């Protein structure tokens, strides 16, 4: 029995729309809703707990003379390994240039040439140069800084930082608000936020795994909360590993951006042998899942993997890729003259809360945008730099849909009941969470098998039985959904690779749809079966 199901503390406040998460999708949606009253609840100071701020590559948009929407759609479909929703993708790609111009109006300093035109670069699996960047590898940081400044000067947007949302409140078929814990989740009392519309922009699942490029806030709470409220979850088994996290023992792992390989950097092992050309004709620019498995194999074999930028970038490294350069130099590696040690790390979740083209979930009153969702545009393997594009396109569409569905603001008072002492702990530093992270990396990582997934399900069940915390229940729910879906999908496709089922199977060329009740039945069957 969970101990923190209690009524929350009273505050003197009112809300119309509550946005959960202060990343790119949340901030962009709030700006698009203005002058509608909006409250953003962010677990960390906005810009600090969001994967968006760490994005190095940029935003993909078909804006060059030689590029077309059709080419961008085709590249997305090819990367997505047969299960991309083409209708949703066409819509996203078509609206991309308009959203880039929105970001420019908000003050994002995208790179330009001497004539003032946007500079476009190429990344893996893109057939054209269509990545809009900022100073090489600083797009995420620059975009977030510009949006934060715009939010701060918009009087209709209230930002409450340090509020960890733990529960979606459901009344009948509607989500009617959220319950959050202040003080970065450390308060002994909770606060209720009734709302006419809740927009879930809580980020991804990277910190469910021991090696990730994501901040700790990206630990799957949003997916778990939505699933526990009854939302349909789509494609949870598809987890993208970035092949070139800098392997220096840091958590989260710093990233060596895809753009380095786009500019000609190569992958070699400790013997200096370039190994990716033996695996895929596109070498280092093969889809991320292919490159990740290639790097994983070299590391596992004891040969190590290194990103050699010495010829392709060389002395220009400090000004072209300042973020990566700083990370390397802090670890005693000079990327101008030395190869960078790399390893695969969880980077992005293609699965998440199922939404339609307007960002609506399967529960009335709940919309969602960004990495917490599964819109279908990424399929089994996200195309590089489509994530920020998806976030802004669907955030804008949610704003329009809410304005049309709920045309007039109607403010509701915050909850008026006293909270109880729950003696909160930092779940993210707790021993059970560390056990879960190790288990997910070992058993549900780059390479999976029936045996490893079955073990993970059994051990997740043990963690659930011992748990008394609502926040950890959200997190472990997401781990269970990912693992059950991975066990069910008896093939390899995109970011999901089964060593015991190493090929794609035509009967599995479809998306996965899963409720928590279904996942629990399947997990129970596995947990009750004696190990072989």
* Per-residue exposure over 361-383, b if at least 16 CB sit within 10 Å of its own CB, e if not: bbbebbbbbbbbbbbbbbbbbbb
What is the C-alpha separation between 177 and 505, in angstroms, rounded?
42
Give the active site residue among 170, 288, 489, 493: 288
Q: Look at residue 488 and give its three-state secondary structure.
A: helix
Beta-bridged to residue 158, according to DSSP, are: 39
Coil, strand or helix at 76: helix
CA 95 from centre of chain: 21
d(CA 513, CA 489): 12
CB 290 within 8 A of CB 279: yes
Token couple for 421:
């002492």
Hey, which residues does 192 pair with through a beta bridge? 179
Contact 85, 93 (CB under 8 A): no
Told to judge if 498 belongs to the known catalytic residues of this protein, a careful annotator would answer no
Give the residue among 385, 371, 349, 362 at the shortest CA–CA distance from 21. 371
Q: Which of 131, 495, 500 is nearest to 344 (CA)?
A: 495
- Please tell me the distance from the alpha carbon of residue 27 to that of residue 43, in angstroms, as a whole number: 14
| φ, ψ for residue 54, nearest 5 deg | -95, -5
Active site residues: 288
């Amino acid at each position: 029995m969970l101990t923190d199901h209690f009524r929350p503390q009273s505050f003197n406040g009112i809300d119309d729309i509550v946005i959960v998460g202060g990343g790119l999708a949340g901030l962009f949606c709030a700006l698009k809703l203005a002058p509608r009253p909006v409250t953003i609840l962010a677990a960390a100071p906005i810009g600090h707990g969001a994967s968006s701020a760490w994005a190095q590559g940029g935003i993909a948009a078909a804006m060059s003379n030689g590029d077309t929407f059709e080419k961008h759609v085709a590249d997305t479909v090819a990367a997505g390994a047969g299960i991309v929703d083409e209708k949703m993708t066409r819509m996203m790609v078509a609206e991309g240039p308009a959203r880039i111009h929105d970001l420019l109006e908000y003050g994002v300093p995208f790179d330009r040439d001497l004539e003032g035109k946007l500079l476009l670069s190429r990344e893996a699996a893109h057939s054209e140069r269509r990545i809009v960047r900022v100073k090489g590898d600083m797009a995420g940081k620059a975009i977030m800084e510009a949006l934060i400044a715009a939010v701060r000067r918009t009087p209709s947007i209230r930002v409450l930082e340090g509020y960890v949302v733990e529960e979606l409140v459901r009344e009948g078929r509607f989500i009617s608000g959220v319950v959050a814990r202040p003080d970065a989740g450390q308060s002994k009392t909770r606060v209720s936020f009734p709302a006419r519309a809740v927009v879930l922009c809580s980020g991804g699942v990277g910190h469910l795994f021991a090696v990730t490029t994501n901040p700790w806030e990206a630990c799957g709470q949003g997916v778990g909360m939505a699933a526990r409220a009854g939302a349909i979850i789509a494609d949870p088994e598809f987890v993208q590993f970035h092949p070139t996290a800098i392997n220096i023992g840091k958590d989260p792992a710093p990233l060596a951006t895809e753009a380095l390989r786009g500019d000609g950097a190569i992958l070699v092992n400790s013997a200096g042998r370039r190994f990716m050309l033996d695996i895929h004709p596109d070498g280092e620019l093969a889809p991320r899942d292919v490159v990740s498995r290639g790097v994983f194999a070299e590391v596992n074999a004891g040969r190590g993997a290194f990103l050699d930028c010495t010829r392709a970038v060389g002395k220009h490294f400090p000004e072209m890729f300042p973020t990566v350069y700083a990370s390397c130099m802090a670890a005693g590696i000079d990327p101008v003259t030395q190869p960078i040690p790399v390893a695969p790390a969880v980077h992005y979740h293609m699965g998440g809360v199922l939404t339609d083209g307007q960002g609506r979930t399967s529960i009335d009153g709940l919309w969602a945008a960004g990495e917490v969702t599964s819109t279908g545009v990424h399929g089994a393997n996200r195309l590089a730099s489509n994530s920020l594009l998806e976030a802004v396109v669907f955030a804008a569409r949610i704003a329009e849909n809410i304005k049309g569905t709920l045309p007039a603001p109607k403010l509701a008072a915050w909850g008026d009941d006293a909270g109880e002492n729950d003696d909160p702990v930092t779940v993210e530093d707790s021993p059970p969470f560390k056990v879960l992270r190790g288990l997910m990396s070992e058993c549900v990582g780059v390479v999976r098998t029936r045996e490893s997934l079955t073990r993970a399900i059994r051990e997740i069940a043990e963690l659930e039985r011992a748990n008394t915390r609502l926040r950890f229940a959200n997190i472990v729910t997401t781990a269970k959904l990912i693992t059950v879906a991975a066990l069910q999908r008896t093939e390899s496709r995109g970011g999901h690779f089964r060593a015991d089922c190493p090929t794609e199977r035509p009967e599995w060329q479809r998306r996965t749809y899963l409720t928590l009740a279904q996942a629990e039945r399947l997990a129970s069957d596995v947990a009750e079966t004696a190990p072989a």
